[in-house]
Structure 1
Amino acid sequence: MPTYYPVKRMGITLDEQNFILKRLIQFKTEGDVLDIGSGNSLIPIQLSKAWNKKIIAADIWDEFPIELAKRNADEEKASVDFIRIERPNLKLPFPESSFSFIYSIMFVYNLRKNEREALFSEIHRVLKEGGSFLLVDPVIVRKERKELKGFTETLYREENALFYYLAKKVNRPS
C-alpha cells in the first residue's frame, strides 16, 4: 500500500492535495509534462493515472525520500520518472523546449527571490513555445507570478486561500 504523508514545506494536508488534484485534472494536455516541487508525489502519481501519461517529477527531495516516491509510483502503477534538482540554481536537466506543460504546486513560495528567478528562467527554457505553466501557491504570495518573464496570463483564479495562475510561453525573457 502506498505511503504518503504531508510535506511541511507544502503546508497542506493530504485532503487538500486531493482537492488540488481534482482541479488539476481539468488541465489535461498533450505532450510531455513536468511537475516541479513534487513533495510527496501524490499529485504527479495520480495525474499520471488520470491522464494516462508519463510525468516527470522534479524536487529537491529534502522532506520526502525519492525512494519512497518511486516505490509509491510502482505500487500505484503510475508512469512517473523522478529527478533531483539542487539549490540554489535549480537547474533542470533537460534540453530547451522539452515540455508542453509544466506545473508547480506549493513549492515556489518556499524559494528565495534569486532561486525563484533562476527556476522561472529554467521553466521558460525547457517549456515549448506556446506551452503552459501552471503555478499554484498561497494567495498571500500571488505577486510572485509577476516575476515570470516571457509568459502571458491565460487564467487566474483564487480558491481556498490558493491562487491558480496559468500562463503561456510567448517569447524569450528579457
Structure 2
Amino acid sequence: MYEKSFPDKRFKLTLQFLKKHIDTSEAILDLGVSNPLSEIMIANGYTVSNTKGEDLDEDRSLIENSEVDVVTAFEIFEHLLSPYEVLKSINAKKIVVSVPLRLWFASAYRSKTDLRDRHYHEFEDWQLDWLLEKTGWKIKDSSKWTNPINKIGIRPILRRFTKRYYIVYAERV
C-alpha cells in the first residue's frame, strides 16, 4: 500500500509521526516551498501553507506573522546558518521537526550544482534537542529511522542499520 503512494520510506514515516501528534483540524505552516511531502500532507486532510522560498536566515517575516497552530520543518534546519533564530521566531504552540543525522561514515551533503542545496549543519540527536530546548520548546516525542539505499558498497550496507533521520514533536513552553 505505502510503496505505491509514497515516494520513499521517509515520507511514510514522517506522515505517521505527524498523524500521531497533529490533528487535521490544526493549520500548518510548512517551512520551505511546496514539495512532495507537503502535497502528501494536504492529500491526507491537513491544511498546509508553505513559505515562499525566501532565505529564512534573513527574512522570517512570514513565520513571525503566521497565525497557524503548527509549524513543520522537514529537512530544513540543516540548510540554515541560524536555525536558532527561526525557532525563536515561531508563534505556533506546536512544532514537528525532522533532520538528517550526521553520519560518521559520510561527509556533509553539498550539491556541486545548486549553491543553496547544502548542509551547513548535520545534527546529532542531542544537538537538535538542545537547540529546541534553548529556544523555548519542550520535546514530547521523537523517533529515528534508517534510510537504506539499493546500491552495493560499504556505505549502503551501513545505511541499512545506521539511523539517518530524526524527527521531534515539541510544544512551546
Query: Runs in 1 of length 4+ with deviation above 6 angstroms?
Result: none
**After the TM superposition, which residues 91-170 of structure 1 pair with which residues of structure 2 at under 5 Å, given as runs?**
91-93=60-62, 98-112=67-81, 115-123=82-90, 126-127=91-92, 131-140=93-102, 141=123, 142=125, 143-148=127-132, 149-160=135-146, 161-170=164-173
Report how many aligned residue pairs link the two structures. Answer: 125
Write the distance in 1 (CA, Å) between the matches of 2:11 and 2:66.
Answer: 30
Higher relative strand content:
1
Counterpart of 2:32 (choices 18, 34, 37) is 37
Contact 2:21 2:169 in 1 (8 A): no
Write the distance in 2 (CA, Å) between the matches of 1:116 and 1:25.
Answer: 25
Q: Choose 1 or 2 for highest CA Rg.
A: 2
Write the distance in 1 (CA, Å) between the matches of 2:38 and 2:67.
Answer: 18
* Identical-pair percentage: 10
Cα displacement (A) at 1:94: 5.2
One-letter code aligned to 2:129 = R
Cα displacement (A) at 1:20: 3.8
**Unaligned regions of 5+ residues in structure 1, if any?**
1-13, 59-82
CA distance 1:146–1:34, shift in 2 (3 Å): same
Residue 55 (structure 2) aligns with: 86
1:61-118: per-residue Cα shift (whole Å, max 9, x none)? xxxxxxxxxxxxxxxxxxxxxx332243241325557121111111101222xx2122
One-letter code aligned to 2:86 = L
Give me the TM-score of the superposition, normalised by structure 2. 0.61
